[in-house]
Amino acid sequence: MRSRIWPILRKEFLEIRRDPRSLAFVLAMPVLMLLLYGYGISSDVKRVPLAVYDRDGEARARELTRRLTSTGYFVVATRVGSLAELRRAIDRGQARVGLTIPEDFSRNLAAGRPAPVQFVVDGSDSNTASIAIGNIAAIGRSIELDPRDLRPEVSLRPARDNPAPLELRTWVWYNPELKSSNFLVPGLTAVILMMLAAILTSLTVAREWERGTMEGLIASPLRPYELMVGKILPYVLIGLVDVVLILLVGVFWFRVPLRGSLLLLMLSSTIFLLGGLGIGLFISAATRSVQVAFQFSILVTMLPALLLSGFFYPIENMPPLLRAITALVPARYFLVVIRGIFLKGVGLAVLWKELALLSLFAGLMLVASSAKFKKRLE
């Protein structure tokens, strides 16, 4: 039996070797993606371009703008002289937030009255907009002006005469500097592995169908599971090489701390990879063309792994139906595992449930694709 798997393994390796371009691609791409997205994706909304329409023109108004920009959340992209210009700047996307400071701003402050200012936010990017609104509210509150202090050069000063009644002490565990790469790199590993696994196998079988070589394999004395093992093993190996590459880049380039067990990490990556390969195999057994297999794998692996796994968007915030769907996304469990091992340094005692689910999923996928093959054979 072992000898029957061996030839198909060899055949698969030969095909991979015959196509060095694909192999190079599969090995280089994950690292490139990790580098690109490790830097490219930023969780915080900073440097939002601001258009300022300052009708006051006094020092206090300038101080307000300075306050807004000194937080790093806003940069002054343009100063405009009329409301129409403000509108145009936002229409063009030159600015996402417009600030209008009314003529009586300084006078109001000097008189000790609340000084209204108006912000206009471009809501077409709802994400940036809602974060910007939060920042505006926070900054607005923090700029408290002391009415007794009328000297213009020090006019904006937080009023703090009494001891603050409450003090907040924040401790951030696992990632004290809140480095986003510590958050992104483990997550990206899951996304990349899922995509890779699916694309690797979704095409191998579909290709055999397209070329008409599948019939040859079917006519051979191979059992379905032997065919599957032979098809999957080479890609498990390639996938593991990718895992190692990704881990090296994560640990040595992005300096993500690896606090847990490397062995457990490799083991769980292998289980996850098997599940991904299983999905790919199932897709490609179910569809006879490369193009359909490709569409399916984007739909079933890339989008869920990116969006429904909790990689970036917390699952708690999704509507109930979508939250229920995320229970079926294996990347969701792997993310808990990989973040747990990397950042929290936890082990099997905490992660056994997720690992059990991942193993169950991998097993189910492999059995299902095996069954799919069998049905095709009859």
Contact segment (CB under 8 A) with other proteins among 132-140, 240-248, 272-280, 357-365 equals: 132-140
Around Cβ 185, how many Cβ atoms within 10 Å?
26
49: contact with other proteins by CB under 8 A = yes
**Shortest CB 30 distance to other proteins, Å:** 9
What is the spatial distance between Cα 320 and Cα 339, in angstroms, rounded to a whole number? 24
Distances (CA, A) of 66 to 50, 70, 73, 131, 269: 12, 6, 11, 19, 49
Secondary structure (DSSP) of 208-248: HHHHT-HHHHHHSS--HHHHHHHHHHHHHHHHHHHHHHHHH
Place of tokens 């490369």: 290
Of 22, 28, 79, give the one whose Cα is nearest residue 49.
79
Task: Fill in the per-residue mask, 80 to 109: x = in contact with other proteins (CB under 8 A), - = not in contact.
Answer: --------x-xxxx--x-----------xx
**Shortest CB 213 distance to other proteins, Å:** 12
**Shortest CB 221 distance to other proteins, Å:** 27
What is the spatial distance between Cα 361 and Cα 331, in angstroms, rounded to a whole number? 11
Contact segment (CB under 8 A) with other proteins among 2-10, 51-59, 172-180, 220-228 equals: 172-180
Q: Which is nearer to other proteins, 178 or 356 (CB)?
A: 178
**Rg over CA atoms, the chain:** 28
Both structure tokens of 57: 């023109």
Contact segment (CB under 8 A) with other proteins among 3-11, 227-235, 239-247, 333-341 equals: 333-341
Amino acid identity, position 229: V
What is the spatial distance between Cα 355 and Cα 336, in angstroms, rounded to a whole number? 10
Q: Which is nearer to other proteins, 306 or 358 (CB)?
A: 306
What is the spatial distance between Cα 337 and Cα 243, in angstroms, rounded to a whole number? 15
350: contact with other proteins by CB under 8 A = yes
57: contact with other proteins by CB under 8 A = no
352: contact with other proteins by CB under 8 A = no
**Shortest CB 278 distance to other proteins, Å:** 19
3: contact with other proteins by CB under 8 A = no
Contact segment (CB under 8 A) with other proteins among 4-12, 247-255, 307-315, 365-373 equals: 307-315
Of 112, 103, 95, give the one whose Cα is nearest residue 61.
103
The secondary structure of residue 124, as a DSSP letter, is: T
Q: Which is nearer to other proteins, 175 or 270 (CB)?
A: 175
- Maximal CA-CA distance, the chain: 94
172: contact with other proteins by CB under 8 A = yes
**Shortest CB 150 distance to other proteins, Å:** 11
Distances (CA, A) of 348 to 3, 342, 361: 36, 13, 18
Of 1, 65, 20, 51, give the one whose Cα is nearest residue 223.
1
45: contact with other proteins by CB under 8 A = yes
Q: 76: part of which helix (H) or strand (E)?
A: strand 74-79
Q: 97: part of which helix (H) or strand (E)?
A: strand 97-101
In the list 1, 151, 314, 378, the residue contacting other proteins (rule: CB under 8 A) is 314
Hey, which residues between 225 and 284 contact other proteins (CB under 8 A)?
none
**Shortest CB 2 distance to other proteins, Å:** 28
Q: Which is nearer to other proteins, 6 or 32 (CB)?
A: 32
Around Cβ 170, how many Cβ atoms within 10 Å?
5
Hey, which residues between 174 and 233 contact other proteins (CB under 8 A)?
174-176, 178-180, 182-183, 195, 199, 203, 207, 210-211
In the list 268, 287, 369, 370, the residue contacting other proteins (rule: CB under 8 A) is 287
Contact segment (CB under 8 A) with other proteins among 6-14, 37-45, 214-222, 226-234 equals: 37-45
Q: Which is nearer to other proteins, 41 or 266 (CB)?
A: 41
31: contact with other proteins by CB under 8 A = no
Q: Which is nearer to other proteins, 13 or 225 (CB)?
A: 13
137: contact with other proteins by CB under 8 A = yes
